[in-house]
């Protein structure tokens, strides 16, 4: 080999060594990156642990707070709001009723024809549409005018063009998914907007009256006979309540509907955009003579459970991983936008059972602009979805059992605890809301945890529908 050849060979060897060193360095770095990401997820998982002992503490705390909330306003972290409902439908109701559900995400109009005993819903019609984004931050007049107009069109379609401006004012059941201080069965003052709504200057206004004014303005001859504040629900509940000219929370609607078909129903829980619950309380237990409905005012608790927040929790964890490791390459940027990852997307990624996690990849690309994420990183993302969902479902389960404990239906002691003459009493809890109904893994985790907390024997007599 000549001098030149030798130099070239030496140069090549040096380059090879440099490349090899770079490769090894990169591999080491990437291994370090990967282990940092795994470490972060492990820490997060530990912080989210919900062993049954901890869940039982939540159950106890919930029952204690409920007692306190019944004793005085502001005496508890739970807002215990009175609904003014003293009786639930039993299936004997008859007639045609209209109702309206203004949720945080969707807006539903509904007509139902009830045929009397035994719990006959002869027919019902529901129309659902998303609430236009701009109305979430406008004025209450704009929001309610839209609602009244949509309802008017629905009624006209249902009544086949019959003019609604007639002598007979129709009763309307109005489910309003935000906290309201009920004044009577058909009126209530808005406490605050939640779940992404920030309608201007309306705290303290009577929402039923606002809707009545809007209906008058659009020429719809209806008035709110029953107002339900709170969050989420199933469809037909309002009209059964309307039948009794009552004003209720949408959780009360769920309770009413379920009770309409099954008189063993004792409580209703909504797990949708927000989380909320209601149950029937003995009047003498309402010491402050004011509170009944448990509007889950513990925002920290609600934030760990509700559909509005789960996607955001996952996003924050992924963002931290992206910042502290490079396993998502340069995707950190899109992950920094709050609420860019919605809960239904978390559900879709979690439920992706394709071998190459195709759906996860699609969502990352389409919604987060994260391209070329490795399969292992996708798996890690699914694991984060699982941690967040599992904690949420298990805490929701503890909240439900907390209510059962308050009602003495948790099997923790004698007759008052759900046993009559030695036999456990059948107990039904109505559960509604998009997170629960549309996210099967969430549902499974929740039901599993209820079983774990209550124990097999008691759990056998508790069903959620």
Residues near ligand ADP (CB under 6 A) are 103-106, 177, 231-232, 272-273, 307-308, 343-344, 347, 433-435, 438-439
Q: In the bound complex, what is the minimum distance in angstroms from residue 112's beta carbon to ligand ADP?
A: 18
Closest CA to 384 of 440, 313, 328, 333: 313
Spatial contact of 212 and 158, defined as CB atoms under 8 Å apart: no
**Neighbour tally for 465: CB within 10 Å:** 15
d(CA 75, CA 282) in angstroms, rounded, equals: 19
Contact with Mg ion (CB under 5 A) among 69, 91, 103, 307: 103
CA atoms within 13 A on the CB side of 92: 4
Q: In the bound complex, what is the minimum distance in angstroms from residue 457's beta carbon to ligand ADP?
A: 32
Spatial contact of 332 and 319, defined as CB atoms under 8 Å apart: yes
Closest CA to 426 of 400, 460, 397, 450: 460
Q: In the bound complex, what is the minimum distance in angstroms from residue 324's beta carbon to ligand ADP?
A: 28
Length of the chain: 465
DSSP 250: H
Question: Residue 77 binds which one of ligand ADP, Mg ion, none, with CB within 5 to 8 A depending on kind?
Answer: none
Strand partners, 194: none
Q: Name the pairing type of β-strands 427-432 and 462-464.
A: parallel
Which CB, 271 or 335, lies closer to Mg ion?
Answer: 271
DSSP 283: G
Q: Would you call 387 helix, strand, or coil by DSSP?
A: helix
Number of residues that bind Mg ion (CB under 5 A): 3
Which CB, 232 or 357, lies closer to Mg ion?
Answer: 232
Q: Which residues have C-beta within 8 Å of that of residue 202, sequence separation ≥ 6?
A: 139, 140, 190, 193, 210
d(CA 462, CA 410) in angstroms, rounded, equals: 9
d(CA 389, CA 344) in angstroms, rounded, equals: 11
**457 is written with which tokens?**
């024997």
Which positions from 402 through 461 interact with Mg ion, judged by CB under 5 A? none
Contact window for Mg ion (CB under 5 A) among 100-108, 217-225, 344-352, 365-373: 100-108
Question: Residue 397 binds which one of ligand ADP, Mg ion, none, with CB within 5 to 8 A depending on kind?
Answer: none
Question: Residue 194 binds which one of Mg ion, ligand ADP, none, with CB within 5 to 8 A depending on kind?
Answer: none
Which CB, 178 or 260, lies closer to Mg ion?
Answer: 178
Which CB, 82 or 100, lies closer to Mg ion?
Answer: 100
Question: Residue 438 binds which one of ligand ADP, Mg ion, none, with CB within 5 to 8 A depending on kind?
Answer: ligand ADP
d(CA 67, CA 72) in angstroms, rounded, equals: 9
Q: In the bound complex, what is the minimum distance in angstroms from residue 344's beta carbon to ligand ADP?
A: 4
Contact window for Mg ion (CB under 5 A) among 63-71, 103-111, 191-199, 359-367: 103-111
Cα 303 to chain centroid, rounded: 9
Q: In the bound complex, what is the minimum distance in angstroms from residue 438's beta carbon to ligand ADP?
A: 4
Which positions from 175 through 194 interact with Mg ion, judged by CB under 5 A? 177
Closest residue to ligand ADP: CB criterion: 307
Question: Residue 237 binds which one of Mg ion, ligand ADP, none, with CB within 5 to 8 A depending on kind?
Answer: none
Closest CA to 166 of 126, 202, 220, 223: 220
Which CB, 309 or 328, lies closer to ligand ADP?
Answer: 309
Q: In the bound complex, what is the minimum distance in angstroms from residue 197's beta carbon to ligand ADP?
A: 10
232 near Mg ion (CB under 5 A) = yes
307 near Mg ion (CB under 5 A) = no
Angle at 418 between CA 417 and CA 421, to 5 degrees: 105
Q: In the bound complex, what is the minimum distance in angstroms from residue 101's beta carbon to Mg ion?
A: 6
**Neighbour tally for 125: CB within 10 Å:** 14
Which CB, 79 or 405, lies closer to ligand ADP?
Answer: 79
d(CA 407, CA 393) in angstroms, rounded, equals: 21
Q: In the bound complex, what is the minimum distance in angstroms from residue 130's beta carbon to ligand ADP?
A: 10
Q: In the bound complex, what is the minimum distance in angstroms from residue 250's beta carbon to ligand ADP?
A: 7
69 near Mg ion (CB under 5 A) = no
271 near Mg ion (CB under 5 A) = no
Which CB, 342 or 378, lies closer to ligand ADP?
Answer: 342
Which CB, 63 or 269, lies closer to ligand ADP?
Answer: 269
Strand partners, 430: 268
Which CB, 114 or 308, lies closer to ligand ADP?
Answer: 308
Secondary structure element (H or E) that encloses residue 402, with its range: helix 375-406
Q: In the bound complex, what is the minimum distance in angstroms from residue 345's beta carbon to ligand ADP?
A: 8
Which CB, 267 or 459, lies closer to ligand ADP?
Answer: 267
**246 is written with which tokens?**
């009552």
Beta-strand ranges (E) seen in 131-232 are 170-176, 180-184, 187-190, 222-229
Question: Residue 373 binds which one of Mg ion, ligand ADP, none, with CB within 5 to 8 A depending on kind?
Answer: none
Q: Which residues bind Mg ion (CB under 5 A)?
A: 103, 177, 232
């Amino acid at each position: 080999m000549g001098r030149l050849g030798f130099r070239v060979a030496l140069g090549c060897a040096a380059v090879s060594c440099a490349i090899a060193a770079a490769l090894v360095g990169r591999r080491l770095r990437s291994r370090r990156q990967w282990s940092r990401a795994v470490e972060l997820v492990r820490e997060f998982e530990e912080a989210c642990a919900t062993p049954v002992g901890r869940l039982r503490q939540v159950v106890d705390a919930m029952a204690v707070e409920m007692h306190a909330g019944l004793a005085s306003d502001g005496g508890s972290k739970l807002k215990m709001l009175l609904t003014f409902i003293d009786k639930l439908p039993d299936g004997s109701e008859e007639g045609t009723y209209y109702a309206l559900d203004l949720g945080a995400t969707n807006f539903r109009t509904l007509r139902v024809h009830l045929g009397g005993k035994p719990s006959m819903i002869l027919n019902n019609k529901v129309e659902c549409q998303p609430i236009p984004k701009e109305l979430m931050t406008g004025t209450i007049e704009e929001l309610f005018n839209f609602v009244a107009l949509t309802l008017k069109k629905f009624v006209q379609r249902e009544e086949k063009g019959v003019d609604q401006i007639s002598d007979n004012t129709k009763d309307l059941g109005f489910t309003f998914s935000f906290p309201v201080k009920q004044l009577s069965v058909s009126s209530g003052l808005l406490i605050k907007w939640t779940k992404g709504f920030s309608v201007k200057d309306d705290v303290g206004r009577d929402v039923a009256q606002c809707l009545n004014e809007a209906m008058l303005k659009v020429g719809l001859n209806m008035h709110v006979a029953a107002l339900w504040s709170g969050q989420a629900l199933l469809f037909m509940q309002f009209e059964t309540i309307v039948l009794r000219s009552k004003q209720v929370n949408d959780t009360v609607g769920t309770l009413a509907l379920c009770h309409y078909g099954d008189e063993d129903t004792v409580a209703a829980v909504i797990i949708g955009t927000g989380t909320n619950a209601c149950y029937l309380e003995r009047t003498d237990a309402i010491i402050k003579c004011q509170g009944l409905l448990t509007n889950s005012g513990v925002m920290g608790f609600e934030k760990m459970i509700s559909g509005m927040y789960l996607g955001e929790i996952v996003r924050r964890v992924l963002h931290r991983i992206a910042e502290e490791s490079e396993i998502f390459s340069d995707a950190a940027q899109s992950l920094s936008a709050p609420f860019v990852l919605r809960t239904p997307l978390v559900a879709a990624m979690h439920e992706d059972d394709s071998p190459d996690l195709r759906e996860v990849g699609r969502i990352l690309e389409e919604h987060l602009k994260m391209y070329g994420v490795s399969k292992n990183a996708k798996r890690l993302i699914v694991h984060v979805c699982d941690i967040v969902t599992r904690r949420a479902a298990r805490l929701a389960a503890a909240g439900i059992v907390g209510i059962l404990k308050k009602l003495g239906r948790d099997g923790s002691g004698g007759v008052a605890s759900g046993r009559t003459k030695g036999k456990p009493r059948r107990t039904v809890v109505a559960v509604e809301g998009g997170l629960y109904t549309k996210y099967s893994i969430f549902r499974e985790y929740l039901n599993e945890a209820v079983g774990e907390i209550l124990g097999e024997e008691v759990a056998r007599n508790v069903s959620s529908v």
